[in-house]
């Protein structure tokens, strides 16, 4: 908490109210082994969102699979909703019916995570467990600060980039590892009206025409890389 507070105040974000959110019940955290499995599920689910049913043709607009549309409800389709979707499905019980519900769109086989994380998995601004949190509450009450440096050795797949768009509007992006090329990528939902899920190289963000999206310590809109509190 102290580290997070120092970094936020350092970049003139005193208007952001941080409530005590770093005290997370021990039985609501995943073990190291469970966290590794959790990241495998997040990776597999993200890949699934970017491929058509033949798992070969990448699509720009990932909100095209009717099964995913049903599982990822319309009201949850924004940047924070994408993270919530991945957490829900990663911690889910993946029965044969669950796999069949995806049809041929989900072919990756992984073991379930035998966890004791309390459901609902998120904490809202009132300190209550909830299925819904926006991007700001996701950051403030459900993650902890890691770094503002993309070269940090502490970064792991599944970490989240947060941006402050305005006093009340935040934006989140998922840090995703391309294991074939060995580089970092980011995945994010645009929200309405485009309603698209996009993926691009982390380095490409530094070339974005709008500098407020640059993941740089020199950018006051970039709050840094954060990690879900349920992960060690």
- Rounded distance, CA 23 to CA 229, Å? 9
Write the CB contacts of 154 (distance below 8 Å, at least 6 apart in sequence).
146, 147
- Rounded distance, CA 135 to CA 129, Å? 16
- Rounded distance, CA 140 to CA 138, Å? 6
pTM greater than the 0.85 cutoff: no
| Selected residue with higher pLDDT from 71 and 185 | 185
- Rounded distance, CA 197 to CA 208, Å? 17
Which of 166, 152, 170, 161 lies closest to 214 in space, CA to CA? 161
- What H or E segment, with its residue span, contains residue 224? strand 222-228
Which of 89, 97, 100 lies closest to 38 in space, CA to CA? 89
Tokens for 96, please give them.
Answer: 């044969």
Domain chopping of the chain, boundaries:
2-228
pLDDT tens digits, one per residue of 137-192: 999 999 999 999 988 889 999 999 999 999 999 999 999 988 878 889 899 998 87
Band of residue 6 on the pLDDT scale cut at 50, 70, 90: very low
Tokens for 118, please give them.
Answer: 């309390």
């Amino acid at each position: 908490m102290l580290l997070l507070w120092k970094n936020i105040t350092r970049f003139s974000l005193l208007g952001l109210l941080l409530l005590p959110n770093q005290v997370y019940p021990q039985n609501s955290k995943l073990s190291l082994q469970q966290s590794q499995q959790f990241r495998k599920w997040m990776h597999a689910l993200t890949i699934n969102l970017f491929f058509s049913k033949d798992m070969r043709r990448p699509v720009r607009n990932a909100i095209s699979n009717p099964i995913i549309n049903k599982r990822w409800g319309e009201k949850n389709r924004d940047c924070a909703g994408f993270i919530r979707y991945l957490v829900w499905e990663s911690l889910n019980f993946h029965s044969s019916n669950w796999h069949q519900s995806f049809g041929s769109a989900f072919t990756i086989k992984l073991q379930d995570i035998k966890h004791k994380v309390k459901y609902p998995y998120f904490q809202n601004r009132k300190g209550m467990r909830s299925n819904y949190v926006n991007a700001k509450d996701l950051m403030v009450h459900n993650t902890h600060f890691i770094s503002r440096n993309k070269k940090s050795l502490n970064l792991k797949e599944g970490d989240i980039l947060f941006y402050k768009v305005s006093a009340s509007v935040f934006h989140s992006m998922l840090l995703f590892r391309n294991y074939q090329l060995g580089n970092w990528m980011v995945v994010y939902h645009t929200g309405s009206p485009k309603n698209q899920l996009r993926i691009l190289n982390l380095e490409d963000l530094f070339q974005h025409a709008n500098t407020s999206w640059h993941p740089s310590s020199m950018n006051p809109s970039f709050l840094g890389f954060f990690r879900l509190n349920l992960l060690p």
